[in-house]
């Protein structure tokens, strides 16, 4: 089973809102990732957590705040986003940071 779940599936938020995206896996994977994907573009890496510690931040603006409460759960907290942040946000996980990454279904975010 290689299932990564993400909630919500869709999210519409205003520029002053605070919201959170949630990602969960129960495969015992110890690396988890957030990607952002715009239409007709490849996924862009945002953050990597390895063994619940942030190991990579790809210079993402502070209005995106990741959190890894435990080895199964990854959150992305959103605050004061801009319309250009509208995109598909993908979570992925891998057994460890050198193994194959499996993607969740994504959250489609629209910022108004």
Partner 1 sequence: QKEVEQNSGPLSVPEGAIASLNCTYSDRGSQSFFWYRQYSGKSPELIMFIYSNGDKEDGRFTAQLNKASQYVSLLIRDSQPSDSATYLCAVSQPGTASKLTFGTGTRLQVTL
Q: Is 88 near partner 1 (CB under 8 A)?
A: yes
Quote the least distance from Cβ 62 to partner 1, whole Å.
21
Nearest CB to partner 1, comparing residues 15 and 54: 54
How far are the Cα atoms of 35, 47, 52, 87 from residue 41, in angstroms, in the given order? 12, 18, 28, 10
Q: Is 102 near partner 1 (CB under 8 A)?
A: yes
Nearest CB to partner 1, comparing residues 39 and 62: 39
What is the Cα gyration radius of the chain? 13
Residue 100 phi, psi (nearest 5): -60, 135
Q: Which two tokens stand for residue 10?
A: 């869709």
Q: Is 106 near partner 1 (CB under 8 A)?
A: yes
Closest CA to 94 of 34, 43, 30: 30
Which residues form the interface with partner 1 (CB under 8 A)? 2, 31, 33, 41-43, 45, 48, 50, 55-56, 88, 90, 94, 97-98, 100-106
């Amino acid at each position: 089973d290689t299932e990564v779940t993400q909630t919500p599936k869709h999210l519409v938020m205003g520029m002053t809102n605070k919201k959170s995206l949630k990602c969960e896996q129960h495969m015992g994977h110890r690396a988890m990732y957030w990607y952002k994907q715009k239409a007709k573009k490849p996924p862009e890496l945002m953050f990597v957590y390895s063994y619940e510690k942030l190991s990579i931040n790809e210079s993402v603006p502070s209005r995106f705040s990741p959190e890894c409460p435990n080895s199964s759960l990854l959150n992305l907290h959103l605050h004061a986003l801009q319309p250009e942040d509208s995109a598909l946000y993908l979570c992925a996980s891998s057994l460890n940071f050198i193994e194959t990454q499996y993607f969740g279904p994504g959250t489609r975010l629209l910022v108004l």
